[in-house]
Chains A and B, each alone.
Chain A
């Protein structure tokens, strides 16, 4: 129940939880290290990715760390995004450190399936694709503690606060504000708390 432990650990936090606070909690709970780096990516196509390389002799692994060991993860984030996007992409990718073994993209076939899940595929997503959606909701739950979200539910319903203002308050991309106040938000977030990892 490590995600539940994460949310419990974050519930006493202020509204703008620093990404490094979440990172420290995830590292502590999973026992894995993670490097976060920025490089050039076309943000129309990809804003970032999470990678768990096991070949410590590979140049990609070697350049990132002097004392790297198997099990260290890497999050690659696109350069040039604003702070809200940066934070959201990093935290969503951090949530993949909780992935279950059957959700891991650890073969070429599963990689093919994952890429197809992002396209126009009409079929149900693979376990790898489903974990992308899970990580999204888990990130929302980590970044927006319920105690801070609740006071705004009624205000938004009565149009007393705009999505733009809410995005500024929670420091999340504006396009995700409707998700934060979706009627299934609580169930989407909480189902991952009981999802044993």
Chain B
């Protein structure tokens, strides 16, 4: 019986992990950025280009995270104008 309960618990944990992973994928930084940039309620960007950093190989997630962060900061007023 104990063995069965452990088995069910493990199954539940595995299922929860899948749900969480699926949720994380749905809310990935790239997806968030696409939503922010191109959705009807978003910025409706007609162009976007990037200047990469010092790390030669960068993942889409890392780049998208920087865009999300910068846009959110600017929306919050956390920026300086370059005259």
List A residues at the B interface (Cβ < 8 Å). 20, 35-55, 58-61, 63-64, 73, 76-77, 79, 86, 89-90, 92-93, 96, 99, 104-108, 111-112, 114-116, 118-120, 128, 131-132, 135
Q: Considering the chains assembled together, what is the distance between the CA atoms of A64 and B75 in angstroms?
A: 9
Please determine whether A50 and B74 come into contact, CB atoms closer than 8 angstroms: no
B79 adjacent to chain A (CB < 8 Å) = yes
Please determine whether A60 and B30 come into contact, CB atoms closer than 8 angstroms: no
18 further interface pairs, Cβ-Cβ under 8 Å (given A40-B69, A132-B50) = A41-B70, A42-B53, A44-B53, A45-B52, A45-B62, A46-B66, A50-B48, A54-B45, A54-B46, A60-B71, A63-B77, A73-B47, A107-B38, A108-B37, A114-B48, A119-B57, A119-B59, A132-B49
Chain A neighbourhood of B66, CB < 8 A: 41-42, 45-46, 49
Q: Considering the chains assembled together, what is the distance between the CA atoms of A105 and B54 in angstroms?
A: 23
Chain B neighbourhood of A64, CB < 8 A: 74
Main secondary structure of the interface of B (DSSP, over half): mixed
Please determine whether B54 and A43 come into contact, CB atoms closer than 8 angstroms: yes
Please determine whether A111 and B38 come into contact, CB atoms closer than 8 angstroms: yes
Q: How many A-B residue pairs have CB under 8 A?
A: 162
Shortest distance between the CB of B41 and any CB in chain A (Å): 8
Please determine whether B45 and A61 come into contact, CB atoms closer than 8 angstroms: no
Shortest distance between the CB of A59 and any CB in chain B (Å): 5
Total count of chain B residues near the partner, CB < 8 A: 43
Please determine whether A111 and B33 come into contact, CB atoms closer than 8 angstroms: yes
Please determine whether B67 and A49 come into contact, CB atoms closer than 8 angstroms: yes
Shortest distance between the CB of B76 and any CB in chain A (Å): 8
Shortest distance between the CB of B21 and any CB in chain A (Å): 20
Chain B neighbourhood of A77, CB < 8 A: 82
Q: Considering the chains assembled together, what is the distance between the CA atoms of A54 and B79 in angstroms?
A: 20
Shortest distance between the CB of A39 and any CB in chain B (Å): 4
Q: Can you offer 15 A-B residue contacts whose CB atoms are under 8 A?
A: A20-B83, A46-B52, A46-B63, A48-B50, A49-B48, A52-B47, A54-B45, A64-B74, A76-B79, A90-B82, A93-B51, A96-B49, A114-B50, A118-B52, A119-B58
Return the contact of B43 from the options A40, A49, A51, A93 (Cβ within 8 A): A51
Return the contact of A108 from the options B34, B41, B70, B78 (Cβ within 8 A): B34
Q: Considering the chains assembled together, what is the distance between the CA atoms of A69 and B71 in angstroms?
A: 19
Please determine whether B38 and A38 come into contact, CB atoms closer than 8 angstroms: no
